[in-house]
Amino acid sequence: MSYIASMERAERFRKIKLDLSLRELKRAQNDMDVSYQDLLYMDIIYFHPETTVSYIADVLNIAGTAVTVRLNRMEKNGWITRTRSESDRRQYIISLTGEAMEMYREYEDEWSTRMDSLCEKYSESKADELLDMLEILTRDDRE
């Protein structure tokens, strides 16, 4: 593959990534009255049931105080709860409330619809190939 072709492919990937991010942001702001950052935090909390402030700070590579500010806003909106950890009384476990789970499921339903559309348009093996490629893109090479 030529250098030009590989650069064009890389540019397509970057554009797709940007388009997906902007679509999520627009939908969050218009339909669900949550920010893109709120959705990002909801993703982290949803996929990591024992979420703490320090875990979110580590994942996002930001200060714990910044996480606390965001979580305070989310708690005020009724989207999260904090429960003292049984194993470490200094820590609080962050959980999504029922209201937040409902909003999150609406957001996830859109993705499910898109995946269903892909599976109808392409064979199952091609859809699996795409998922394999996306998993490679999202893998943390530092682990």
pLDDT in tens, 74-114: 999 999 999 998 988 889 999 999 988 887 787 777 777 87
Domain count, the chain: 1
Higher pLDDT, 129 or 26: 129
Q: Is residue 4 part of a domain?
A: no
Closest CA to 97 of 70, 77, 69: 77
Q: Give the model's confidence band at 5: pLDDT under 50 very low, under 70 low, under 90 confident, else very high.
A: low
> What pLDDT sits at residue 1?
60
pTM for the model stands at 0.69
Q: Is residue 11 part of a domain?
A: no
Its domain, for residue 115, covers: 16-138
> What pLDDT sits at residue 29?
64
Q: Is residue 51 part of a domain?
A: yes
Closest CA to 101 of 43, 57, 56, 28: 43
Query: Residue 19: helix, strand or coil by DSSP?
Result: helix
Q: Is residue 59 part of a domain?
A: yes
Distance CA 79, CA 28 (A): 14
Is residue 92 within 8 A of residue 45, CB to CB? The reply is no
Q: Is residue 101 part of a domain?
A: yes
Q: Is residue 8 part of a domain?
A: no
Angle at CA of residue 117, ends 111 and 120, nearest 5°: 145
Specify the CATH number for the domain of residue 100: 1.10.10.10
> What pLDDT sits at residue 59?
92
Q: Is residue 44 part of a domain?
A: yes
